[in-house]
Structure 1
Amino acid sequence: MSALSELYENIRCCEKCEIARSRIKAVPGEGAEDAEIMLIGEAPGFYEDQQGRPFVGPAGKFLDELLASINLSREQVYIANVIKCRPPTNRDPLPQEMLNCRPWLNKQIEIIQPKVIVTLGRYSMAMFFPQKTIGKIHGTAEERDGILYVAMYHPAAALHQGNLKEVIKADFLKLPAYIAANNNSTQKKEEKKESDTIAKQLNMFEV
């Protein structure tokens, strides 16, 4: 059993929150274990609760379209949520629920080791961009500790506010350029580190 499969089993058995009693299925996450891009949503909805998979309802279909627009598929990325069980009536996640689920998400990030984390929605964004608002930073990227974080609106926002659909599409189209720039920056840092190491070794032989 892989580390990710074992984690899934532990998540499915979790009963830290009251919502564990009303769920049909926990929704751990899915995707490539070696994915470079990880997308983090907020919480499972009705369809996700039924199937135990993330983003399988109308918002999921739009997410598939967004990924296809940048030549990606679900199989090439990793998708998870901030909390793993559906809140009753699809209400917003509570602070304690997010706190209880945070170790699961941290472990997923540790296992996947993504180069890019895309936050989908304000609750996901708040975990990585505290004190910021999604209206101001959507579509922007920030590199920290070797990971590129990109804040996006949740795909479901386009279903409730039609005017956001084109905004979300435009934000997603920025991803390839962000990723390319980040990869180039990382490569330059590695080359400089290697160059500095060689220079240091050569200095040891100077009289």
Structure 2
Amino acid sequence: MDGHPARALRQRLQSLAAAGVKQVPKSGRPAALAPLPKPSAVATSVTAAGDPARQLAVLGAEVAACRRCVELAAGRSHTVFGTGPVDARICFFGEAPGADEDACGEPFVGRAGQLLTKIIEACTLKRQDVYILNVLKCRPPGNRAPQPTEVANCRSFFEQQFQVIAPQFICCLGTTAAQALLQTAEPIGKLRGRWFTYGTARVLCTYHPSYLLRNPSAKRDVWEDMKLLMAEMGVNG
């Protein structure tokens, strides 16, 4: 419990407002609270939506209406859900939208996105054949790293995306994506170059393209990781 009465009261009023309570009684029993929404509540609407394309459309609408992260919702221009075929064999999983992505609502369209496209094509894959998504669906202010509460708020969204798409492979790009998916605290330097399992998908972790823009020497490590990915997928690089 917060030790500051004013702050605690303010937090209580915010919780009441989020729960749908518009007026607090002056006396008598406190007003009954509507159940606070939980991230896992998304699953019901998505599962009931029918075919995979429809399921993703329903989930995308949930994301567009989301206000769980007050700061991110207030500052965003667009939510960035994800893009690619619903039956994609592989998903590339990044951290969060940047300014370019926030402006257009598409993932990986800036400089890091251009580099990701080159990486995908170097693996003899086509960008239009893969699904690309991020942990967060809103841009953090100043492109700061996502906070744990923000990752938790978005978890049901990306988990549902993976459930609907059911990829055979997931490539985690950077620390945030790898740690969020695998629920580990290990740094990306220790996670990369190793195979993991998420559901029925094989998971490989590597450095984020934005890291490569700042540290070009790490491109060699990423290429080694991509060779592992191609070998496992049975494609020729």
Q: Output the TM-score relative to the length of structure 1.
A: 0.83
* Identical-pair percentage: 36
Partner of 1:174: 228
Residue identity matched to 1:37: I
* Alignment partners' CA distance in 2, 1:131 and 1:91: 19
2:156 alignment partner, one of 76, 80, 103 = 103
Runs of 4+ in 1 over 6 A off after TM superposition: none
Matched, 1:54 2:107: yes
Question: Which residue matches 2:9?
Answer: none
Contact 1:69 1:173 in 2 (8 A): no
Structure 1 pair 105–77 and aligned structure 2 pair: CA distance change class (3 A) = same
Say if 2:194 is the partner of 1:140. Answer: yes
Moved more, 82-91 or 12-21: 12-21
Query: Structure 1 residues 134-143 or 90-99, which shifts more?
Result: 134-143
Query: Does the CA contact (< 8 Å) of 1:29 and 1:54 recur in 2?
Result: yes
Between stretches 100-109 and 143-152, larger displacement belongs to 143-152
How far does the alpha carbon of each residue in 1:115-174 deviate from its partner, in whole angstroms, 9 at most, with x for none?
Answer: 111111101111233132211221221235422010111011111112112222232232
**For 2:205, what is the secondary structure of its paired residue?**
strand
Q: CA RMSD in A?
A: 1.6
Question: Retained in 1: the 8 A contact 2:151–2:180?
Answer: no
Residue of structure 2 equivalent to 1:94: 147
Counterpart of 1:72 in structure 2 is 125
Give 2:86's aligned amino acid: E
Structure with greater contact order relative to length (CA < 8 Å, sep ≥ 6): 1
Gaps of 5+ in 2: 1-52
Task: Kindly report which structure 2 residues correspond to 1:139-158, keeping only aligned pairs within 5 A, or say none.
Answer: 139-143=193-197, 145-158=199-212
User: How many equivalent residue pairs?
Assistant: 181
Kindly indicate whether the alpha-carbon contact (under 8 Å) linking 1:27 and 1:49 is maintained by their aligned counterparts in 2: yes
Contact 1:155/1:168, CA 8 A, preserved across alignment: no
Q: What is the alpha-carbon distance in structure 2 between the residues aligned to residue 178 and residue 144 of structure 1?
A: 15
Q: Distance in 2 between matches of 1:163 and 1:150?
A: 20
Higher helix fraction (1 or 2): 1
